[in-house]
Chains A and B, each alone.
Chain A
Amino acid sequence: MSKDVKAQEAKNPMEDFLRMDRIPHIWCSGCGIGVVVTSFVDALRKSEIDLNKVAIVSGIGCTGRVAGYVKLDSFHSTHGRAIPFATGLKLGNPEMQVVVFSGDGDIAGIGGNHFVHAARRNMDILVICVNNFNYAMTGGQVAATSPINANLSTAPYGNFEYPFSLPYLADACGATYVARWTCLHIRRVTMSIQEAFQKKGFRFIEVIAPCVTLYARRNRLGDGLNLLKYYHDNSEIRHGADTRTLDIGYQGKMIVGKFVDREKPPFLECMNTHMKKALGDKYVPYGE
Chain B
Amino acid sequence: MKKLKVDPKGVLTGAHYLDGDFAIAEGALAAGCRFFAGYPITPSTETAERFAERIPFVGGIFIQMEDEIASVTALIGASWAGKKAMTVTSGPGFSLMMENIGLAAMMETPIVIANVQRGGPSTGLPTLVGQQDMMQVRWGSHGDYKIIALSPDSPQECFDLTIQAFNLSETYRVPTFIMTDECVGHMHEKVVIPPADKIEVVERKWYEGPKEKYLPYKPDKDMIPFMVKAGDGYRFHTTGLTHDERGYPVINAECQDWVVRHLNDKITKNAEKIIKYEEEQTDNAEVVVVSYGITSRVAYRAVQLARKAGIKVGTLRLITVWPFPEKRIKELAKKVKAFVVPEINYGQMVLEVERAAAGKAPAILVPHCGGWVHNPEDILKAIKEAAK
Contact = CB atoms under 8 A, between A and B. Distances in A.
A binds B: yes
Interface stretch (B226-234, B329-337, B346-354): B226-234
Given A84-B74, A96-B230, 13 more contacts: A19-B237, A52-B232, A57-B77, A86-B77, A87-B65, A88-B35, A88-B37, A90-B77, A91-B81, A92-B85, A93-B81, A93-B229, A286-B60
20 contacts: A21-B248, A68-B249, A72-B235, A74-B235, A75-B77, A76-B240, A76-B249, A78-B103, A81-B69, A88-B73, A88-B76, A88-B79, A90-B77, A91-B63, A91-B77, A93-B231, A114-B66, A117-B65, A279-B57, A283-B57
A287 to B, nearest CB: 8
A112 B81 CA distance: 24
A275 B56 contact: yes
B13 to A, nearest CB: 18
Prevailing SS type, chain B contact patch? mixed
B156 interface: no
Going nearest first, the 9 A-B pairs with the smallest beta carbon separation are: A92-B81, A88-B77, A88-B74, A284-B59, A76-B239, A92-B78, A89-B77, A84-B70, A93-B81
Contacts of A75: 77, 80, 237-239
Nearest to B60: A286
Contacts of A73: 80, 230-231, 234-236
A263 interface: no
A52 B103 contact: no
A51 B235 contact: yes
Nearest to A114: B70
Contacts of A220: none
A143 B59 CA distance: 42
A164 B248 CA distance: 34
Interface in B1-30: 9
A67 interface: yes
A55 B230 contact: yes
Contact of B237 (A68, A81, A96): A68
A77 B209 CA distance: 26
A47 interface: no
Nearest to A278: B56
A240 B233 CA distance: 38
Contact of A71 (B58, B81, B231, B235): B235
B385 interface: no
B42 to A, nearest CB: 21
A113 interface: yes
A52 B81 CA distance: 13
Contacts of A95: 231
Interface string B36-74: 010000000000000000001111110101110111011
Contacts, number: 146
Nearest to A57: B77
Nearest to B83: A92
Nearest to A268: B61
B92 interface: no
Contacts of A85: 73-74, 76-77
Nearest to B233: A52
A22 interface: yes
A76 to B, nearest CB: 4
A75 B229 CA distance: 12
Nearest to A121: B63
Contacts of B232: 52
B83 to A, nearest CB: 4
A249 interface: no
B32 to A, nearest CB: 13
A91 B231 CA distance: 12
Contacts of A87: 37, 63, 65, 70, 74, 77
A135 B283 CA distance: 63
B210 to A, nearest CB: 15
A72 B236 CA distance: 7
A109 to B, nearest CB: 14
A285 interface: yes
Contacts of B35: 88, 91-92
A84 B63 CA distance: 11
A6 interface: no
A76 B66 contact: no
A22 B248 contact: yes
B58 A92 contact: no
A35 to B, nearest CB: 22
Nearest to B211: A52
B74 A78 contact: no
B73 A84 contact: yes
A265 to B, nearest CB: 16
B66 A92 contact: no
Contacts of B248: 19, 21-22, 68
A73 B248 CA distance: 13
A282 B249 CA distance: 47
